Structure 1
Amino acid sequence: MSEKYLHILLVEDDEVDIKNVQRAFKKNHISNPLHIARNGLEALEMLRGTGGKERLNPLPKVILLDLNMPKMGGLEFLQEVREDPELRTLSVFVMTTSDEESDKFAAYNLNVAGYILKPLSFERFVQAVSILNHYWTLCEQL
C-alpha cells in the first residue's frame, strides 16, 4: 500500500499540531503514509539518511512545514532543501502561526507550493487538509 500512495513528511515540533494533522487526515480519509520530523535538522537527516537516521524510501513528494521550530527552523530547512539537487523538486506547504510578511515573502521566494496560517478552527483546518489531499491525489496520478 505505501508504494501506491504519495508519502508525506510533516515537519512540526508542536505535539498538538501533529495530532491535529493526524486527526484531519483521518477525518478526510487520507491514507497516505505520514512521516514526522520534530525540526528541520531531523527532517534533513530523514530525507538524506544521515545523522544515524535511515533515509525515507520512497522519499516523500510533499512536505508540510512549520516555520518556528528548535534546532533548525522552517526557512533554514527550506533553503537547504532548495539547494540540494536530490530534494529541490519536493513540494513544500508551509503551515505556521507566522503571519509576518517577511516570512511569507521568504517562503514564496524559496518556491513553496502554499502558505497556510494556523490556528484555523479545526473545521477550517480539515478543509485545508482536504484541499491539500486533492493536490497530492493529482500528483499520484501523474
Structure 2
Amino acid sequence: MTILIADDDTDDRLFMDKALRQSGYTQNVQFVEDGEELMEYLRQEGRYNEENAPWPNLLILDLNMPRKNGFQALNEIKDDPKLRRLPVVVMTTSSADEDVLKTYNLGVNSFVTKPFNFNRLVEMVSALKTYWIDTVKLP
C-alpha cells in the first residue's frame, strides 16, 4: 500500500508523515511538492519510474500549490482513463463551500479541512487510514 501526498508546505508534509506513523500506518508514503510533480509521478515521467514511484492506493491532495494547483491536477487525474480510478482525498486549509463543491464536481472522493492542531490531525489521519486503507476495497 502506498499513500501519495501532494503538498507544497514542508511542515505540512512532515506533520502528515508523523501523523500517519502515529496512527499506525507503517507502509510506504511518497511526497510531491506541486501539481506538476504530482502528474509526473502518476505518469512516471521525468525522474519518476516504477522503482521510485510506486502506484499509490490513495492520493491526499492539497489545493493550494504552485505551478499546478490541486484543482487543475484533480481535473487532469479524473479526465485520464489510466488515472481516474485513483481515490483522491482533498486535504486543504480551505473550508469554503465553493471549493468543496468544485472538487466534488471534478470527482474528488473526499474533502477534509486540515486541522490546526497536531492531535486533531492524528485523529483525522487515523480516520482516513481506517476508512481508505483498512475498510474500503480499492482498485
Normalising by structure 1, report the TM-score: 0.89
Once the two structures are aligned, what percentage of the paired residues are identical?
35
Inter-CA distance 33–64: structure 2 relative to 1 (3 Å threshold): same
Q: Which residue of 2 aligns with 1:36?
A: 31
Q: Which residue of 1 aligns with 2:135?
A: 138
The reply on whether 1:8 has 2:3 as its aligned counterpart is yes
Q: Distance in 2 between matches of 1:113 and 1:133?
A: 14
Say which of 91, 95, 103 aligns to 1:95.
91
The reply on whether 1:85 has 2:81 as its aligned counterpart is yes
The Cα of 1:140 is off from its aligned counterpart by: 6.0
Q: Distance in 2 between matches of 1:84 and 1:141?
A: 18
Inter-CA distance 123–61: structure 2 relative to 1 (3 Å threshold): same
SS at match of 2:112: strand
Alignment of 1:54-93 (within 5 A): 54-55=49-50, 56-57=53-54, 59-93=55-89
Q: Which residue of 2 aligns with 1:3?
A: none
Q: Which residue of 2 aligns with 1:123?
A: 119
Alignment of 1:42-57 (within 5 A): 42-55=37-50, 56-57=53-54
User: For residue 50 of structure 1, what is the amino acid of its counterpart?
Assistant: E
Q: Distance in 2 between matches of 1:82 and 1:141?
A: 16
SS at match of 1:94: strand
User: For residue 25 of structure 2, what is the amino acid of its counterpart?
Assistant: I
Inter-CA distance 126–7: structure 2 relative to 1 (3 Å threshold): same
Q: Could you list the runs of 4 or more consecutive aligned residues of structure 1 that deviate by over 4 angstroms after TM superposition? A: none
Normalising by structure 2, report the TM-score: 0.90
